[in-house]
Amino acid sequence: MFNLKVDQFARKHQLFQPHATILVAVSGGPDSMALLHYFKSIQHNWKFRLIALTVDHSLRGEGSQEDVKYVTSICNEWGIECNAVTLDVPSFKKQHNLGTQIAARKMRYQFFEQQMEMYQADFLAMGHHGDDQVETVFMRMTRGVEPMNIKGMDVKRSFSRGSIIRPFLCVTKRDIEEYCEKQQIQPRLDPSNESPNYTRNAFRQEVLPFLKEQNAKIHEHVQGFHEYVTEDEAFLQEQASNLFNTSLFMKKEDAIQFDRSEFLKISSSLQRRTFHLILNYLYENSPNDVSYHHWEQFKQLLKASTPQSLLNLPDGLFVIRSYEKIEFTFSHDEGDGSFHFQLSVPGTVLLLDGTSVYVEVNAESTEWNQHHFVCDRSKVTLPLHVRTRRAGDKIALRGMKGHKKVKDLFIDYKIPKAKRDRWPIVTDDEGQILWVVSLQKARVEANNSKTWLHLTYKNQENF
């Protein structure tokens, strides 16, 4: 029954073909040992060349060494070629300032890629199963990744000169354990897989059992969800790519320009994918810290009522809006940095550096922190304004009599001179300074009001 299920899944997704050279990633655990045995059982009919790859990451001392010895011994017993390697993950991790799991994965895949080339292999088979797929999808949903990335692990994807394949995504961990028992396979067990210190293990021990209680076939439903999302995503990516290659986008080596109003006519789903195509075009290596937050900031820039604004992206990339022209560029002339925006209530102003000030009305009068300002709506004249400093600016500080020059305030807070001319200041329509953003708040009289203005300053640090 197990083999039949995997066979049908493999045929459905065209995972391999006769006379192929297949590398199997084998750790010695139940999943990879069952996978190796499965390929051994069909090797004669498909006329595969089968090679096991096993890795000691130098992380568990004698334990990982024993795993490699076990895999090598079983391969000798089963008549399967085997290539074992020891990787110095601790040194690599330290050298590149990476987390343990990321460093191990990076080195492991580098080794796999080398082996694909050396053996002229067609496929690299991995033992991920249906429960792994469920964990992956729900972990990504929990982390709040882009909707296009919520899909799980691909059944088959390009890698090196061939493809990575995952034939076991159609079966559960329990199915694999029963297969090992039936075939009298005695796999090695990695104690780190039981540690609650890893996020995936916490999902495995707490979330997955609950989901299985609700639906024992959750892995099949999640795999179906993944396949639907993958198909839809492929179509949308093709549409976005076609759009990106039209005359709407003026491409240079280090910059891209397009018309804002024309771009806004495109559906939001294609806008988002085109945004990422632009980043892929301009970045030589896409930074890890480009996030969904940057896409949200870009949307604000597109739709803001202010005709000129600027957004800072990682690694020195700017998005500049000048009326109807949008430009992604690594070159930016900052000028004197001054600005003046009208702030409607409720409303948001996106500032030139990509930060923002927004205001809303609330019945509560509590302030949270220095990035949040509250005042009685009846004591200020609307609309509000967000601007840079002017000669002679003064603020009536809370807890103090009289007024203080904004210039002296900047000196007290040791604000660098270059930043003073770009610092946001909120005033009412009569010019009364209400807030030198994140530094000091004005003394504004209050009645027993039930209507309060809440202003919040957002940047990447306090978002």
206 with 272, same domain?
no
289 with 346, same domain?
no
Q: What confidence tens digit (pLDDT) does each residue in 349-364 have?
A: 888 777 889 999 988 8
Does residue 334 sit within a domain?
no
Which residues make up each annotated binding site? 27-32
49 with 162, same domain?
yes
DSSP SS3 for 359: strand
Does residue 297 sit within a domain?
yes
Burial of 345 (0-12, 13-18, 19+ CB in 10 A): middle
Summary count for the chain: helices (H), strands (E): 15, 22
148 with 264, same domain?
no
Query: Which of the four pLDDT bands, split at 50, 70 and 90, describes residue 208?
Result: confident
61 with 141, same domain?
yes
CA–centroid distance for 231 within its chain: 21
Please name which of 242, 82, 204, 229 lies closest in space to residue 153, comparing C-alpha atoms. 229
420: left (phi over 0), alpha (psi -120 to 50) or beta: alpha
Choosing from 197, 217, 237, the residue where a domain stops is 217
For 182-220, letters b (16+ CB in 10 Å) and e give eeebebbeeeeeeeeeeeeeebbeeebeebbeeeeebbb
253 with 213, same domain?
no
Which residues make up each annotated binding site for ATP? 27-32
Strand partners, 255: 329
pLDDT of 144: 60
Provide CB contacts within 8 A for 56, sequence distance 6+: 64, 65, 67, 68, 84, 85, 86, 87
In the chain, the number of structural domains is 3
Choosing from 278, 298, 329, the residue where a domain stops is 329
pLDDT beyond 90 at 300: no
Does residue 82 sit within a domain?
yes
CA–centroid distance for 145 within its chain: 5
Full domain range(s) for residue 135: 2-217
CA dihedral 56, 58, 60, 61 (to 10 degrees): 100
112 with 259, same domain?
no
* pTM of this structure: 0.65
pLDDT beyond 80 at 172: yes
428 with 306, same domain?
no
Burial of 16 (0-12, 13-18, 19+ CB in 10 A): buried
CATH of the domain at 134: 3.40.50.620
pLDDT of 462: 45
CATH of the domain at 345: 3.50.40.10
Does residue 237 sit within a domain?
no
72 with 170, same domain?
yes
Q: What confidence tens digit (pLDDT) does each residue in 82-108 have?
A: 999 999 999 999 998 888 888 999 999
275 with 175, same domain?
no
Q: What confidence tens digit (pLDDT) does each residue in 394-425 have?
A: 999 998 888 999 999 999 999 988 789 889 99
Does residue 291 sit within a domain?
yes
CATH of the domain at 324: 3.30.465.60
Does residue 140 sit within a domain?
yes
Query: Which of the four pLDDT bands, split at 50, 70 and 90, describes residue 463?
Result: very low
Does residue 346 sit within a domain?
yes
Q: What angle do CA 69, 72, 77 make, to 5 degrees?
A: 125
84 with 7, same domain?
yes
pLDDT of 70: 96
- Supply the DSSP symbol for 186: -
Q: What confidence tens digit (pLDDT) does each residue in 239-298 have?
A: 999 999 999 999 998 999 999 999 999 999 999 999 999 999 999 887 776 777 788 889
408 with 259, same domain?
no
pLDDT of 287: 77
Percentage of the chain modeled with pLDDT above 70? 94
Does residue 234 sit within a domain?
no
